[in-house]
Structure 1
Amino acid sequence: MPTAKLTPTLRADYLRLFQTCRITPGSLATVTPIAQRIAANRDRYRQIGDPLGIPWCFIGLVHYREGSLDFGKHLHNGDPLSARTVHIPAGRPLKGKPPFSFEDSARDALILQKLEKYKDWTLPGMLWQLEAYNGFGYRLYHPEVLSPYLWGQSNHYTRGGYAADGVWSPGYVNRQLGTAVLLRRLAELGAVEFAADGTLNDAAADKPVSVWARYDSVKFDPTHANPLAKELQQQLNRVAGIHLLEDGKAGEKTSTAFWRVTGRYLKGDARG
């Protein structure tokens, strides 16, 4: 299968795209529960990934795209675990008899991709592997369109794609949620952390999955500014469709934005 090298230029591009990624308006309510489901199953993913040196979040992202987070499906391609895979790659796992456990099948899928030998689990390295999992057809043959396998439902993808295997359509719209977009949401929720250079801080996996809990103490106050309210506004402005003045005054617009991402208004807001 044709591939693209992970060059310094591509690394920088992945970092830039991730930093500037914004979930499309209207999609946040869909993206957040999916990210939370992945994070809720991180221990199960870690049981598979830790012995192989593969981050749990990578496995969760592939599980979403290939199996819709269904633990009754093969990680290879979403075929049911009640039999060997039928679609490409067919006949997996080679060993054992069906029905297969999700864990055994997932290990087979990851080892088939030789991911247990892969060591670059930085942010660029992970995004490169996610793109490789689906193929580099976009990057190699249609570089004007970023792969929706990564960037679907974000500001980085609008239209253009493979309507069927090998059939390109510039007007086709892939409506699935991209894995990089989900990874971005996991980072926003505090389930994963990346340093400025893209290094993964796996210790974040043991933290509560809510970046917003830090701001529960911010009170509704449209008159007086405080540093934590300003920090909250800065965080909220990272969410697509939210545009707040970062003045530290937690008024109606800030409280409404907080409600949008958490389902609750700031303390002291009469609407809550």
Structure 2
Amino acid sequence: MAFSFSPQAVAEYQRLFDTCVINPDRLPEIKPIVNKILSGKSRYEAMSNKLGIPWHFIGITHSLEAGCDFNTHLHNGDPLTARTVQGPKNRPRTGTPPFTWEISAEDALADLANWNDWTVPGMLFKLEGYNGYGYHSKGINSPYLWSFSNHYTKGKFIADNVYSPTAVSKQCGAAILLRRLTETQAAPVEIVDRQSLILQLGETVTFAPTRVVEKARELQKIMNLAGAHLLEDGKAGTNTSDAYQRFTGNFLQGDPRRV
């Protein structure tokens, strides 16, 4: 099943961002990366104004894909002197090389033209999508987002469709760069409040005291961050429904007590 921007995904992205702890020994490596993004801010802002995409999303993508090198394609870091060779291949589709960075970047970001959710979850969903959602099937958080933090230890695709459970990413994750940009007040972020997350996700969870459901587990985690004290067992039973009622005023779908 394809990974989608579901209420469960929204809640998970926000929870991971809220509980993210950057590995202290990585901070000396992260600082120059952030500074390099900031050094290109004026060009990212110009592209942001044209496309309606946050400048820091563009800058973070440029950092991960091309090391913030304005002589390379935003798609994948290939030289602007020709169309892309690595995937995605033969981009930009129109025009004649050599390309300007702006022309190439507009082509790379074209698929985001109709995306308008630039909250933290919306941004992380699209950042992860730039690299692919394959890590969900491996049961780990994507290093493309979470490398250099408490949310990632090991496991990496070392080639297309080739996964190594022991390989460790040496690249700083996109979510960590976003955290540092926001922690230093360099970039704004739109955070989804926990009350909204609980309501949005909770309305997709059905009262089921004996069945383990990952959506229910995510709801328990989000409610615990907001002050509940639940066993995160994935069983949407009486305790979980009671906690949901305290936050939202109603019990879970399927609970006989629901109004």
The TM-score, its normalising length taken from structure 2, stands at: 0.72
Q: Which runs of 5+ in 1 are unaligned?
A: 199-272
Match of 1:96 in 2: 95
Distance 1:195 1:133 in 2: 20
**Selected match of 1:193 from 149, 174, 188:** 188
**Partner residue in 2 for 1:147:** 142
- For residues 108-153 of structure 1, what are the alpha-carbon distances to aligned partners after superposition, in whole Å with 9 as ceiling and x for unaligned? 1111xx10111111110000000111110001x112x100000011
Give the total of aligned pairs. 193
Q: Indicate the residue corresponding to 1:78 in structure 2.
A: 77
Q: Supply the distance in 1 between the matched residues of 2:159 and 2:5 (Cα, whole angstroms).
A: 27
Secondary structure of 1:177's counterpart equals coil
Do the aligned partners of 1:63 and 1:69 also contact (CA within 8 Å) in 2? yes
What per-residue deviation string (whole Å, max 9, x for no partner) do you get for residues 144-176 of structure 1?
x10000001111111011122111111111111
Task: Write the letter of the residue equivalent to 2:3.
Answer: A
Cross-structure match for 1:211: none
Partner of 1:255: none
Q: Is the 8 A contact 2:141 2:151 kept in 1?
A: yes
1:195 Cα deviation from its structure 2 partner: 4.7
Name 2:3's counterpart in structure 1. 4
Instruction: Indicate conservation of the 8 Å contact 1:160/1:172, yes or no.
Output: yes
Q: CA RMSD in A?
A: 1.4
SS of corresponding position for 1:65: helix
User: One-letter code of the match for 1:92?
Assistant: R
CA contact (8 A) 2:37 2:59 kept: yes
Q: Summarize the alignment of residues 213-224 of structure 1 with structure 2, pairs less than 5 Å apart.
A: none
1:151-190 alignment runs, 5 A limit: 151-190=146-185
Residue type of the alignment partner of 1:132 = G
Q: How far did 1:24 drift? A: 1.1
| Amino acid paired to 2:152 | Y
Measure how far apart 1:3 and its partner are.
3.6
Amino acid of the residue matched to residue 168 of structure 1? Y
Letter aligned with residue 160 of structure 1: G
1:36 deviates by 2.1
How many angstroms apart in 2 are the aligned matches of 1:120 and 1:110? 15
* Paired letter, 1:42: K
- Native 8 Å contact 2:120 2:189 kept in 1: yes
Question: Offset at 1:194?
Answer: 2.8
- Are 1:115 and 2:115 counterparts? no
Change (3 A) 1:195 1:107: closer
Of stretches 54-63 and 7-16 in structure 1, the one that deviates more from structure 2 is 7-16
Residue type at the aligned position of 2:184? L
Once the two structures are superposed, what CA deviation does each residue of 1:46-78 show, in whole Å capped at 9, x if it has no partner? 111222111101110110111011111101111
- The one-letter code matched in structure 2 to 1:59 is I
Q: Is the partner of 1:162 in helix, strand or coil?
A: strand
Following TM superposition, by how much is the alpha carbon of 1:18 offset from its aligned partner in structure 2, in angstroms? 0.8
Partner residue in 2 for 1:245: none
Question: What whole-Å deviation, never above 9, does each CA across 1:4-62 have from its counterpart, x for those lacking one?
Answer: 11112211111111111111121101112211221232221011122211110111011
Kept in 2: contact 1:3–1:135 (CA 8 A): no
Matched position secondary structure for 2:24: coil
The 4+ residue runs of structure 1 with deviation greater than 6 A are none
SS at match of 2:151: coil
Judge conservation of contact 1:24–1:153 (CA < 8 Å) in 2. Answer: yes
Instruction: Report the equivalent of 2:126.
Output: 129
Equivalents in 2 of 1:37, 1:87: separation in Å? 24
Q: Does 1:34 align with 2:33?
A: yes
**Separation in structure 2 between the aligned mates of residue 36 and residue 166 of structure 1, nearest angstrom:** 33
Unaligned 5+ segments in structure 2 are 194-259
